[in-house]
Amino acid sequence: MEISDDRLIKIQEIAKERTVRTQSIEYDLETLVKKIDNKLIKLDPGYQRRHRWNIETSSRLIESLILNIPIPLIYLSIDVDVDVESEESRYSIIDGQQRLTAICDFFNNKYSLKGLQCLNLLNDFKYQDLPSFLNRRLEERTIKCLRIDSTLDSKVKIDIFERLNSGSVVLVAQELRNAVCRGPFNELCKNLSENSNFRKLLQINENELEQNSKVQKMEDVELVLRFYALINNKYKEFKKSKDFRFRDFLTEQLDNGNAIDEKALKDFEYSFSKTMQVIIENFGPIAFAKYKFENNKFTIQSKFNAAVYDSLAIGIYSEVISKNRTIDSSMKDKFFNLFKNERLFIIFWSSDFLSYHTKQ
């Protein structure tokens, strides 16, 4: 198959733009942990994905390191605000945060080994309890890292993330965004995900955050972003594109949000918090429940459904919060005018958005 000159030029341009610059680095664990402890490598779960490994998974990694079993590469990105040639260069984790957290926590005696199979005699041992020869073996064990140029734009980094298949727990969409779309709006979304009314509506128990899958996978943060992405008729931007995936739309909106000024950030914070307050005060903690019409009555299928969340939250914001109105009994009747349709849960007067959503 022959390639025209114009097409060849385009291929060359795309290849040049998307080619990733990398450099291989190898650290022993003692040096790696020191860099993490000294903040030369950023390992803040709030800055990256939330820690999802349990003690057994972390212990199996330590066992693999002791037995010199190969483990996947760690992917690092140099921070753009430091001298890349300096010994004090700071790195951020692109992929491998779970592994590095497990290593660092073990070296700092934060957990005891559990569930080991080959080295089951070491179960219940902390790092400080290990025989000295095993301490030395761990300290001298090296891990290969791949440094990726941090000047890459967020879309390229997300592409890198999606192509990486290392680690035992695969990154999900919002974890990818959180890692690469850094900025004040991203931080605000994470802060708003901790709103007490919001957590009640999402059926998140404040006393069991570490066990909640919505929190572990940052689905709660993504729901805050969804609210931002769909209010003020921004959902129409998504409707215009037939080939644009919803997750790409959310990523674009997160990038846009990171560019807004401080006043806009405060306005959104108020709008989101007030919307959740109005919903829980008027519709209760299971306002986002999914109902099924069966035997001439509605029964709850689940206490939270993202489609209901989108519809009710956007409706309340659009017709109540943004217009500085209060909810009276007639408004409530409109919101609870349920259709006899398993896929349509709550009707409100913003019919354009609702018809869009129920077709997805």
Mean pLDDT of all residues belonging to the chain: 78
Q: What is the mean pLDDT of residues 44-69?
A: 78
> Distance of CA 80 to CAs 24, 85, 91, 92, 317, Å?
18, 12, 9, 10, 38
The full set of domain ranges for the chain reads 1-153, 172-360
Note the pLDDT tens digit of each residue in 313-344: 988 898 889 988 887 766 666 565 543 333 34
- 271, 195 contact by CB (below 8 A): no
Does the pLDDT of residue 275 top 50, yes or no?
A: yes
CA proximity to 175, closest of 237, 113, 243, 221: 221
- 84, 78 contact by CB (below 8 A): yes
Question: How does DSSP assign 196-262, residue by residue?
Answer: HHHHHHTT--GGGGGG-HHHHTTHHHHHHHHHHHHGGGTHHHHHT-SS--HHHHHHHHHHHHTTS-H
- pLDDT of amino acid 342: 34
Q: What is the mean pLDDT of residues 272-300?
A: 85
d(CA 56, CA 102): 10
- Flag the least confident range among 1-15, 117-131, 244-258: 1-15
